[in-house]
Structure 1
Amino acid sequence: MTNAITHAMACRRCLYTRRHPLGLVIDDEGICSGCRIHEEKDRLDWTAREARLRQLVAPYRSPGGGAYDCIVPVSGGADSYYVVHWVKERLGLNPLLVHYNTYYNTALGIRNLANLRIRFDCDILVQNVNPESVRRITRATLRQFGSVYWHCLAGQTVFPVQTAVRYRIPLIIWGAHQGLEQVGMFSHEHEVEMSRRYRRDHDLMGREADDLLTLFDTLTEDDIWQYRYPGDDDLDAVGVRGIYLGNFVRWDPKAQHEAMMARHAYGTAPFARTFDCYDHVDSYVYMDIHDQLKLYKHGYSRVTDHACREIRHGRLTREQGLALVRRHEQAPLQHLDLFCHWLGVDARALQFILDQHRSPDHWQQPEPGRWIFSGPSTREPATASDAGVDAGFRANDTLERGGSRAYIVVGKGYP
């Protein structure tokens, strides 16, 4: 493919293309909608946005101070520390933390989660779905539409809503909206809230729990019922709403993580497949086989997301971002044997299934067992800046497995 065609499909500022799975448009100047919405971060009055946030949460404060004011979904990675910091220390709310156990836990993630609830002195509810059901669901979603993370996304987005209904706590506070941050699906000023439709169409790849039940699989009602979104009557009776902190606070994950590392001892670790060592340190799978599947299906992986974000924040040039993508994009998987052992499949059989989900837009197979990738990192020419690019991320821990072949199911408290 020629450079002219490449640039017609790709943003001139970041590395995203029109094939982004969330949907992306490129304007007449060659700039994508995600970059255009990111420009709002430099022109919005964030003091006024914070005042708007305080006004919004005020009616949800417990009058006597003895009840939970809101729900905050958390994990041992991502933006959990920063969201709880804002909710507890900046807004002065009393949150109930909720956590869906993905069963892909690293020791560092368990430590981070325990440290989180202790540092911020918060109560937490943890959902542990029957691990045999989780395994059956993962086998089904992997075969049907190439996802080993559906159950994580489904559980992480439904358990907080179920808890809001069950405990009659109407306000849920999430971090940033993925569609806004990546592709400019909305403006910050739209103040878009979490919805059943966005969850189904994007988080769950168009498949609700009931869509997994087919005549050709082994899943039953007992496997999937805990992933059902509450009905409208139940939601309306409590007045459940989910707001995104990123609509009211200037969102900058690198700066936020580094602040939480310094202030609250958030633990980070290096990955082979990206330069960002702050996100998703709680999972052996996210930056491993899940990331490989993303590359197979969409022609790009998480390192591109990280590079685009850093380009938009002005910490990398486009050329430097592309160099980091080339360096990390096809790094070998480090925890494939662990995943195979957990799922109960042979590595060669698993690879056969994975290959069924390669997109012909990005992968060609000239002969059996040989694949050629044609993503943006292979189409655009390398430059002298490819050597020695440093994105400025620093790990303070590791993801070492310590010889164990088992995922950590339930973690003990951190002393």
Structure 2
Amino acid sequence: MHLIKERLGLNPLLVTYNKYFNSALGIRNLANLRIRFDCDILVQNVNPVSVRKITRATLRQFGSIYWHCLAGQTVFPVQTAVRYGVPLIIWGAHQGLEQVGMFSHEHEVEMTRRYRTDHDLMGQDPDMLLSIFDTLTEDDIWQYRYPADTDLHTVGVRGIYLGNYVRWDPKAQHEQMAAKHDYRGAAFARTFDTYDHVDCYNYMDVHDQIKLYKQGYSKVTDHACREIRHGRLTRSQGLALVQQHELAPLKHLDKFCEWLGVTERSLQFILDQHRDPRYWTQTQPGRWDFHGESTRLDAASGYNNAPIDIGFRGTDRLAFDGDGSYITVGKGYP
């Protein structure tokens, strides 16, 4: 927003998808952003009953509690552009460029339906969730459908990524937003990054645990690799941080179980079905040994066990000034 509004002089319409896992701190940051930059904002609120049904289905079918968030976040801006005749969508970083190296800046990659389906949605279009063996209906999934190509062509919608044009450094950018515009961060148990995803109770909690079950590594590995690329960590320091955080216990599992309407034991039974046997071995009922990549490397090599401080500061709590419950619909701040 700082780049778009203050440096480029644009007056954007902000759009966001309500994931329903909102933290009070996230609601505060979003309201503060809107107020500071004096922008209008549209929020998409899908029927919470449908969101729960979708989450149960995606969790059972392919082990994701975040499919609806990814689907909503990647389609609502496109639907809004078509609805209001806005030809340009400006996204932040492209994951395939900033995180995994699928693309180079030189490719100037733009938003596509195919990338959304294949990668953001794990190959699962909304209509693929419908099944005679499930309870999802047309009324549950229609808001997650991508607009037709004819509609996109009529409006001339294009989606570009700022990461193609400016050096993308999340730590430096968050610190600039904190200093100039009072962005707030919070500490997590499962990573050292105190800026990313403070809007959500589940991303760095249950969702991150599922990633570890399925992929053998978690978000702290992504964060460590990013900081190594930016020269703020050595490889041995990064590995030490990964081993310190990746198996940290969950703090907000009870909230998710209450929201979904299941017990923790029932949820764990479903999650265990999605553990990759390359990284997990069941030693006895309810007990698993982890042998992911981080366990096969020596963190001590080239590292003197000194405390690692690369400057992440999280001075607030996700609950901010509330009781720690999900914020279904935020009223803004102050």
> TM (normalized to structure 2)?
0.97
For residue 310 of structure 2, the aligned residue among 388, 391, 394 is 391
For 1:233 and 1:104, the matched residues in 2 are separated by 34
For residue 280 of structure 2, the aligned residue among 363, 370, 385 is 363
- Classify the secondary structure of the residue corresponding to 2:225: helix
For 2:207 and 2:294, the matched residues in 1 are separated by 19
Listed as ranges, the matches of 1:4-403 within 5 Å are 84-383=1-300, 384-400=303-319
- Name whichever of 96-105 and 376-385 sits farther off: 376-385
Query: In terms of Rg, which structure is larger?
Result: 1
- Classify the secondary structure of the residue corresponding to 1:104: coil
For 1:192 and 1:386, the matched residues in 2 are separated by 41
For 1:264 and 1:401, the matched residues in 2 are separated by 17
For 1:299 and 1:149, the matched residues in 2 are separated by 18
Distance 1:99 1:403, change over 3 A: closer
Q: Give the conservation status (yes or no) of the 8 Å contact 2:187–2:194.
A: yes
Following TM superposition, by how much is the alpha carbon of 1:85 offset from its aligned partner in structure 2, in angstroms? 1.1
Q: Give the conservation status (yes or no) of the 8 Å contact 1:323–1:389.
A: no
Q: Which runs of 5+ in 2 are unaligned?
A: none
Following TM superposition, by how much is the alpha carbon of 1:221 offset from its aligned partner in structure 2, in angstroms? 0.3
- One-letter amino acid of the counterpart of residue 281, structure 1: V
Q: Give the conservation status (yes or no) of the 8 Å contact 1:319–1:385.
A: no
The Cα offsets for residues 190-221 of structure 1, whole Å up to 9 and x where unpaired, read as 10001000000000000010000011110000
- One-letter amino acid of the counterpart of residue 398, structure 1: R
Q: Give the conservation status (yes or no) of the 8 Å contact 2:25–2:320.
A: no
Residue 4 of structure 1 corresponds to which residue in structure 2? none
Q: Give the conservation status (yes or no) of the 8 Å contact 2:24–2:322.
A: no
- One-letter amino acid of the counterpart of residue 311, structure 2: G
The Cα offsets for residues 318-358 of structure 1, whole Å up to 9 and x where unpaired, read as 00000000110000000000000000000001000000000
Q: Give the conservation status (yes or no) of the 8 Å contact 1:320–1:385.
A: no
For 1:263 and 1:115, the matched residues in 2 are separated by 12
- One-letter amino acid of the counterpart of residue 104, structure 1: F
For 2:297 and 2:281, the matched residues in 1 are separated by 18
- One-letter amino acid of the counterpart of residue 370, structure 1: R
For 1:216 and 1:208, the matched residues in 2 are separated by 17
Following TM superposition, by how much is the alpha carbon of 1:389 offset from its aligned partner in structure 2, in angstroms? 1.9
Following TM superposition, by how much is the alpha carbon of 1:387 offset from its aligned partner in structure 2, in angstroms? 4.4
Following TM superposition, by how much is the alpha carbon of 1:360 offset from its aligned partner in structure 2, in angstroms? 1.0
For 1:346 and 1:252, the matched residues in 2 are separated by 40
- Classify the secondary structure of the residue corresponding to 2:42: strand
- Classify the secondary structure of the residue corresponding to 1:364: strand
For 2:22 and 2:318, the matched residues in 1 are separated by 10
- One-letter amino acid of the counterpart of residue 307, structure 2: G
Following TM superposition, by how much is the alpha carbon of 1:406 offset from its aligned partner in structure 2, in angstroms? 4.0
For 1:175 and 1:403, the matched residues in 2 are separated by 29
Distance 1:95 1:125, change over 3 A: same
For 1:163 and 1:243, the matched residues in 2 are separated by 16
- Classify the secondary structure of the residue corresponding to 1:385: coil
Following TM superposition, by how much is the alpha carbon of 1:403 offset from its aligned partner in structure 2, in angstroms? 7.2
The Cα offsets for residues 43-71 of structure 1, whole Å up to 9 and x where unpaired, read as xxxxxxxxxxxxxxxxxxxxxxxxxxxxx
For 2:113 and 2:195, the matched residues in 1 are separated by 29
Following TM superposition, by how much is the alpha carbon of 1:300 offset from its aligned partner in structure 2, in angstroms? 0.4
- Classify the secondary structure of the residue corresponding to 2:304: helix
Following TM superposition, by how much is the alpha carbon of 1:369 offset from its aligned partner in structure 2, in angstroms? 1.7
For 1:211 and 1:149, the matched residues in 2 are separated by 16
Cα RMSD for the two superposed structures: 1.2
Following TM superposition, by how much is the alpha carbon of 1:182 offset from its aligned partner in structure 2, in angstroms? 1.8
- One-letter amino acid of the counterpart of residue 138, structure 2: E
- One-letter amino acid of the counterpart of residue 218, structure 1: T
For 2:191 and 2:248, the matched residues in 1 are separated by 9
For 2:119 and 2:88, the matched residues in 1 are separated by 22
For 1:412 and 1:231, the matched residues in 2 are separated by 33
Q: Give the conservation status (yes or no) of the 8 Å contact 2:204–2:219.
A: yes
For 1:218 and 1:207, the matched residues in 2 are separated by 17
Q: Give the conservation status (yes or no) of the 8 Å contact 1:103–1:409.
A: yes
- Name whichever of 86-95 and 362-371 sits farther off: 362-371
Q: Give the conservation status (yes or no) of the 8 Å contact 1:319–1:386.
A: no
Indicate yes or no: 2:305 matched with 1:409: no
For 2:218 and 2:100, the matched residues in 1 are separated by 15
